[in-house]
Structure 1
Amino acid sequence: MDKKNYINHVTKGEGHPLVLLHGLMGGLSNFKSIFDFFPKKGYKVIMPYLPIYNRPLFLTNILDLSKYIIKFLLKIHIKNATLVGNSLGGHIALIIAKTKLNLVHSLVLTGSSGLFERSFGDAFPKRENYEYIKKKSQEVFYDPKMATKKLVDDIFHIVNDKKRGIKILYLAKSAIKYNMSKDLSKIYQPVCIIWGKQDQITPPKVAISFHRLLPNSELYWIDKCGHVPMMECPIIFLKILEKWLSKFHFNQKNFSL
């Protein structure tokens, strides 16, 4: 780990900061479309790698992970950022917005946990069954072909690694325990909710609940799309996000894809 920068991350561009927060079983590659596009439009894109597997077990929970990201943002002198969170990353973004108001200008939630999320469950049944893991991986997407062999292999190895598997369970349970239904009314920053209509992990009713409970939110749907819209439908996702961000006049560059 780069001690100077506190946490492994990649940065590109200059301008208003977009901080990308990936999910529990996700990675930085999930945000490739955002990382490639927005620096060209006058934004500074920052992608921290969430230290899910290399923290002590007693610190493996969503609240401590949120504190870790807060320390990282303070360390690199980021304020008034737009936090873009998918799944667990969206949950972390909400906690940060509630906890450190000056760090967060706005939020973008896509397939976010925090209210309800279907996952592998309280344990990993049949974790040694490759076909079972493949099926669960495919459920993340509308198009099952998006669950490539490499992606399934990676997940299969993670859940069959005892140490990493235990940490995933700890984080998943802590996310379920830290339900934010009573906190959302206190989050007044602008929130853009972009949701896949066919999301099986955080179903459409979850997006509707977020929209109802967050005072300053807008909800956008992407059809024929699952739990990771920025990965499965990147062009549509980028158009929605760029148009929403443009209302804040962070930059004057014209939008084009």
Structure 2
Amino acid sequence: MSYELKEENGFTYIEEGKGETLLLLHGLMGALSNWEDVVDEFKDRYRVVLPILPIYDLPLLTTGVKSLSKFVHKFIKYKKLTNITLLGNSLGGHVGLIYCLAHPDMIKTLVLTGSSGLYENAFGGSFPRRESRDFVKEKVEYTFYDPATATDALIDEVYATINDRNRVIRILAMAKSAIRHNMGKDLHKIKIPVGLIWGKNDHITPPEVAVEFNKLLPNSTLYWIDQCGHAPMMERPQEFNRHLTEFLQKVN
């Protein structure tokens, strides 16, 4: 990713542009580069901020979705962010939901794409055999509708991550925390506008998850992207940005 990575006060993040805040949260196996096309599109209109979530740095006993929400709150307070649209993919969406429940006055709008929080089929229902790059390749490709979206660089990144014992332990702990922390009974409390931008071919958080979110969130709008998997902002960036623009114009 071509943007400058800043390090301040224990936070590592990217910040581009000026205006109202667009705060982007990556997923469990995600990276800041997943959002590059969103940054490119919106940095002329928004203050786009992307923190690295400390998934691999929390003490094992506190590794979980609630701890990430607390981290996000510390980051927002440190950066003095206001007028926030919080946009989360996968685990990042789950963290965003928890944050909105804990701090209902801090977030103006929420956008979820392939979000966990109700149901997810992580890694296709199995954890990869660490010794097999081909197996990792298959499971990374499973994330997308078009397997070609899973570049060699992305596969290598995931392969390296799951061959790091410290990271694997925390990935498993975080995944278990996400499964335990089902949001179904609490979603009715989130009254702010919520945009749901979903791939119709998402195998990880399937279309019925988006339909359920749309039913349970009282002020939500659902946008579909055809021939698209779990990370629409990577696989169909132009369509994703168009839907995001439409939603933001609708709620502003």
TM-score range, shorter chain: over 0.9
Instruction: Give the root-mean-square deviation of aligned CA atoms.
Output: 1.4
Out of 229, 232, 236, the position equivalent to 2:232 is: 229
In the alignment, is residue 36 of structure 1 matched against residue 40 of structure 2?
A: yes
In the alignment, is residue 2 of structure 1 matched against residue 7 of structure 2?
A: yes
Partner of 1:100: 103
Out of 159, 179, 183, the position equivalent to 1:180 is: 183
Report the AA paired with residue 188 of structure 2. S
**Residue 181 (structure 1) shift:** 0.3
1:2 is paired with a residue whose SS is: strand
What are structure 2's unaligned runs of at least 5 residues? 1-5
In the alignment, is residue 18 of structure 1 matched against residue 15 of structure 2?
A: no
In the alignment of these two chains, the number of paired residues is: 247
Residues 95-130 of structure 1: CA deviation (Å, up to 9, x unaligned): 111100121001000000000011137873422111
Partner of 2:130: 127
Identity %: 49
**Residue 248 (structure 1) shift:** 3.6
Structure 1-normalised TM-score? 0.93
Moved runs in structure 1, 4+ residues, more than 2 A? 1-4, 120-125
**Residue 27 (structure 1) shift:** 0.5
Partner of 1:60: 63
Any residues of structure 2 matched to 1:197-236 within 5 Å, and which? 197-236=200-239
Contact kept, 8 Å, 1:79 with 1:102, in 2: the verdict is no
Contact kept, 8 Å, 1:59 with 1:65, in 2: the verdict is no
Mapped to 2, the partners of 1:2 and 1:33 lie a distance apart of: 22
In the alignment, is residue 78 of structure 1 matched against residue 78 of structure 2?
A: no
Partner of 1:253: none
Contact kept, 8 Å, 2:128 with 2:139, in 1: the verdict is no
Structure 2-normalised TM-score? 0.94
Contact kept, 8 Å, 1:60 with 1:167, in 2: the verdict is yes
Residues 9-44 of structure 1: CA deviation (Å, up to 9, x unaligned): 11111111000000000000010011111121x211
Out of 196, 202, 226, the position equivalent to 2:199 is: 196
Partner of 2:163: 160
In the alignment, is residue 144 of structure 1 matched against residue 147 of structure 2?
A: yes
